[in-house]
């Protein structure tokens, strides 16, 4: 029998949490990259 509860949980995680997590990682990468590029010694 198809486990619809597990499927609904996975859909909610993939559609709600992962996009926010990837956006956070992207913005952190940009911030770290800027620090390396515009480093003043």
- List pLDDT tens digits, range 1-41: 568 888 888 998 889 888 998 999 898 888 777 666 556 55
CA distance 4 to 20: 24
Q: Is residue 32 part of a domain?
A: yes
Q: Domain count for the chain, please give it.
A: 1
Residue 2 lies in a domain: no
Secondary structure in 3-state letters for 2-38: CCHHHHHHHHHHHHHHHHHHHHHHHHHHHHHHHHHHC
Can you give the pTM of this predicted structure? 0.55
Specify if 8 maps to a domain: no
Domain annotation covers residue 6: no
**Residue 39 lies inside a defined structural domain of this protein:** yes
Domain span including residue 30: 14-41
Dihedral sign (CA 16, 21, 26, 27): positive
pLDDT of residue 39: 60
């Amino acid at each position: 029998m198809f486990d619809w509860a597990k499927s609904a949980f996975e859909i909610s995680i993939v559609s709600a949490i992962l996009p926010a997590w990837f956006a956070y990682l992207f913005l952190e990468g940009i911030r770290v990259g800027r620090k390396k590029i515009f480093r003043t010694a």
